[in-house]
Structure 1
Amino acid sequence: MLLTEHQRLPTNGARAVLPFTAEGRQYLGIPQLSKDVPDTPAHMNGGDSDTGALVYRWENGQFVEDIGLPLSGGEDIDVFEFRNQQFMVTAGVRRGHGPYQYNIDQVLYKRVGSGWESFQTFPGFAAKQWHFFEIGERAFLALAQGVTLGHIEATNPRHSRIFEWDGSQFAEFQTFDGQWGYNWESFEIDGQYFLGYADHVAQSQLYAWSGAAFVPFQVFAEKAGRCFRYFQVDGEHLLAFANIQGDSILYRWTADAFTAQQTLSGPGGREFCVVTSGAGLFLVQINFIEGEPSAPHTSLLSRIYKWEKDQFNLVEEFPTSGGTDAAVFNADGQIFLAVSNSLTPDVRFRTDTIIYRFNG
């Protein structure tokens, strides 16, 4: 088996896992969407969102609790190095325990000493994911956000946006049409820079950098997009795209566009993680739910594919419970895979994030 369970971390509605290092030490950040409220009906969009984000520190072969962050309705954490400084930015979709407030500030922190201090805030609306990337000397911070439910009103900017570093802070640079953003992916092919953007109710598409702005380049789905993941193998440029209501598909770059190479699975796909080891290249696909949010099926099998003979072959499946993310890290000379679970079979939030040893 490729995965051997190593450790369980008690989490509530965990939406992502982010391994990162600071001052030479290994950490793991886990944003949490919500926690259960006793004597209330189960619902995947219910609960108490004032959960906080967890940060763990690797010690003696295990993660131990380090600090918490004041994050409500946690969806994402990103950590990046920039201008010889380390930053952390968090995304929260909402706060409260019903009715919820979706217009909340998103916080960018800077590493100061052994902790994090608030550096800049951004007015957000149902924020889902941050993504930092650079093009030459220019630095960008992209925020995927938004929701289109009639009872939720946007008073903050509702569309997904990109900010650019202006020398002292990140200033608004470009607004996208998407209204329920989930994910970004940036990469370069032969000197051309691309930015993938996944949206739930609008087109999930690839944008190309013109030198002045990101312009539409290629559409991958009309709705239900969740994740783009770019990687290279055997000299090929590949792009995996997850669609929670349709097929998750692997694309290959062919001179001037991506073409469908292989269907990986049907509905349920949410995230991808690439693992490279001495045994080869593996693609981990995390499946979230099937069915409608009012009655979701959360106990799914997520998948591990191995690149063999110009395609991915399914080599292992493992159970997830409302799986949301996977991330690889190295510690003590071994490869580990962190997997976040967010919903129990009876649609409660208290379910473990699991750390696996990767044996490939």
Structure 2
Amino acid sequence: MVGFTFLQILLLFCTRQVNGSAISSLLHESRNPCLVSRECLKENQCAYTYILSSQNTDCGQPETVVDIVTDLRDRIEKQEQAIEALKYTIGNQKQVTDAVEVMVTDQGNKIKRIGQQNRRNRHMMQQMEDSLRSIPHLRAEIREVKEKLWSPQNNEQKEITQPKDGACSYSAVNTIRPGCFRYFQNISTYIGSRMKTFLINNTMYLAVPNFQHTVIYRWYMGQFLHFQDLHITQVRGVEYFSIEGQHYLALAKFREDKDYHTNSPIFKWDGQKFTQYQIIPTTGAFDWLYFRVHATTGSQYFLLMVNSGTSHGSGKIENIISKWNGHHFLPIQSILTGKTKHASSFTIDDQTFISFAIYEESNSNRVNSQIYKIQTDSPSPSIQYYETLPIAGGSYAVVPFKHEGQTYLMDVIRQKDDSSFTAESPIYLWKEDKFEVFQTIPTTGARMACPFEIMGRLFLAVANWRDETTYRVDSVIYKFVDDQFVEYQRLPTTSASDCEVFYSGNSVYLMFSNASDNPESASMIFKMDGATEP
């Protein structure tokens, strides 16, 4: 019996990732002569038997077997790590695949939406083409309407007279042509009075005096928007003017609480807003008038303060004329009149005249407005009395205007006598060095008139303040037809104390100031539409 000492080492590898054939391959790669047999017990579990003989030096010592086992374990661990890395890579690839599928789905939806939009666009293009084909027919209809409305042989006034609510039934075409005014915008006012529009750097502004403060609006995107507040109370009038490229705004402050002796400020444009520049002492100031005179020494600039005096005073009131000295206005002359509400300047044959609308004298409205003439034959021009307008009445404004080479004045009568607001306001025509009555038109407590022209046609808007029972009275637009003014359109207004006309694009705008003390009152802007024929 041969005695051998056998050492049998059983290695059991159990794994789900590495099968028996892989392990066998690793063992064979080692080319170890001690490998005797392999018996697979079941799937993924194999037993490897190593026999070590003390007489077989080829098998080495037991330490050699341990080294072999360690080496095999290291190889198996590396295989497992490689498999884990492969699984991670496959997982990432799956995420990428899922993301690509989402993107493909989104792109498909986008393509579907684009297709739907293209179908809508094709439908719109078809509608546009149909509209373009109808333009010649529409142009023919427009021409037919224009011929009916504006043909000289038709009675224009009967064709276009508007209802009293100011509704607009005809819009002008082919640039600006007379149509009708319709409501456009409200401007909040509280005891509003005179308004003024003006341009600074081609931008239009509107100054609106109020009892509490004066508000500056700026024309933006087709409407007036709030721009600046001037915190001067009880302002009745405002005047804009420019001197040597500088812009100014003069406010006529009526009183301070109950004191009519106060100061009226002048504001100057600083490039961004108006800031106070100068103050001038005034008494019951109601309006300013800026005018320029070409004297022997060149152009000279003047500012006339229209004073209305105390509330129920009598006698004459000083209207102060100030002259620009290059930096400020300094008083140079005073003109004594009754209580004056408005002054205006105009030229006839290179002669400059100033009209004074006199409202009251010695507590009576039976007064006459006056005309003064500026003498320019000396280095320092002066203002001298020229004539008195013949028809008496409490005047709130004397408004000059020109048409076809003729000079007219409208004396806006608020009260014919001390009790009635119904009056006939006279329109004068300059003839042979004086003004003669040309026509009278009915007014109701009128406070202002605004002449304007559209394509050579003359219009005259009258701001009616009140009658004997109510402040809700229509203001009236007149049109000059066959050498006389005839009623053209009525607009609903409340306590209208002023009117102002301005143009923007192909449209004409007419504003009426509201003098009501109702906190919710508003001044109204009306618009006469125009359009350019395609």
Mark yes or no: TM-score above 0.5: yes
SS at match of 2:336: coil
2:521 aligns to what? 351
Q: 1:275 aligns with which of 441, 452, 455?
A: 452
Contact 1:178–1:201 under 8 Å retained in 2 = no
Cα distance, 1:337 vs. partner? 1.2
2:263 aligns to what? 105
SS at match of 1:200: strand
1:45 aligns to what? none
- TM normalised by structure 1 equals 0.86
Asked if 1:8 is matched to 2:186, the reply is yes
Larger strand proportion, structure 1 or 2?
1
Asked if 1:210 is matched to 2:383, the reply is no
Contact 1:13–1:350 under 8 Å retained in 2 = no
Asked if 1:144 is matched to 2:306, the reply is yes
Letter aligned with residue 92 of structure 1 = K
Extract unaligned runs of 5+ from structure 2: 1-167, 169-179, 362-367, 417-423
- Separation in structure 1 between the aligned mates of residue 398 and residue 350 of structure 2, nearest angstrom: 20
Q: 1:71 aligns with which of 226, 232, 251?
A: 232
Contact 2:444–2:465 under 8 Å retained in 1 = no
| Structure 2 counterparts to residues 132-211 of structure 1, below 5 A | 132-136=290-294, 137-149=299-311, 159-202=318-361, 203-211=368-376
Contact 1:262–1:311 under 8 Å retained in 2 = yes
- Separation in structure 1 between the aligned mates of residue 503 and residue 231 of structure 2, nearest angstrom: 28
- Separation in structure 2 between the aligned mates of residue 84 and residue 56 of structure 1, nearest angstrom: 21
- After superposition, the Cα gap between the structure-2 partners of 1:179 and 1:299, relative to the gap in structure 1 and judged at 3 Å, is same
| Structure 2 counterparts to residues 316-335 of structure 1, below 5 A | 316-335=489-508
Identify the structure with bigger relative contact order (alpha carbons < 8 Å, sequence gap 6+).
1
Give a deviation string over 1:256-284, Cα, whole Å, max 9, x none.
10100000124512101112112611111
Give a deviation string over 1:323-355, Cα, whole Å, max 9, x none.
011111122432111211112xxx635411111
Q: 1:300 aligns with which of 467, 473, 482?
A: 473
Cα distance, 1:179 vs. partner? 4.0
- TM normalised by structure 2 equals 0.59
Asked if 1:53 is matched to 2:214, the reply is yes
Letter aligned with residue 208 of structure 1 = K
Q: 2:405 aligns with which of 235, 239, 251?
A: 235
Contact 1:52–1:71 under 8 Å retained in 2 = yes
Give a deviation string over 1:103-157, Cα, whole Å, max 9, x none.
221011111121112221101111100010111112110111133445x79xxx9
- After superposition, the Cα gap between the structure-2 partners of 1:248 and 1:180, relative to the gap in structure 1 and judged at 3 Å, is same
Contact 1:160–1:179 under 8 Å retained in 2 = no
Which deviates further from its counterpart, 109-118 or 217-226?
Answer: 217-226
Contact 1:341–1:352 under 8 Å retained in 2 = yes
Give a deviation string over 1:9-41, Cα, whole Å, max 9, x none.
2211111221112222111110013xxxxxxxx
Asked if 1:117 is matched to 2:117, the reply is no
- Separation in structure 2 between the aligned mates of residue 356 and residue 279 of structure 1, nearest angstrom: 21
Extract unaligned runs of 5+ from structure 1: 34-50
Asked if 1:31 is matched to 2:31, the reply is no
- Work out the number of aligned pairs and report it: 330
- Separation in structure 1 between the aligned mates of residue 223 and residue 383 of structure 2, nearest angstrom: 42
Root mean square deviation, CA, Å: 2.2
Give a deviation string over 1:49-76, Cα, whole Å, max 9, x none.
xx11111111211211111011211211
SS at match of 2:318: coil
- Separation in structure 2 between the aligned mates of residue 349 and residue 263 of structure 1, nearest angstrom: 35
- After superposition, the Cα gap between the structure-2 partners of 1:194 and 1:213, relative to the gap in structure 1 and judged at 3 Å, is same
Structure whose alpha-carbon radius of gyration is higher: 2
- Separation in structure 1 between the aligned mates of residue 520 and residue 433 of structure 2, nearest angstrom: 46
Asked if 1:244 is matched to 2:422, the reply is no
2:251 aligns to what? 90
- Separation in structure 2 between the aligned mates of residue 340 and residue 8 of structure 1, nearest angstrom: 10
Letter aligned with residue 172 of structure 1 = P
Larger helix proportion, structure 1 or 2?
2
- Separation in structure 2 between the aligned mates of residue 16 and residue 30 of structure 1, nearest angstrom: 7
Q: 1:338 aligns with which of 496, 504, 511?
A: 511
Moved over 3 A (4+): 347-350
Letter aligned with residue 286 of structure 2 = K
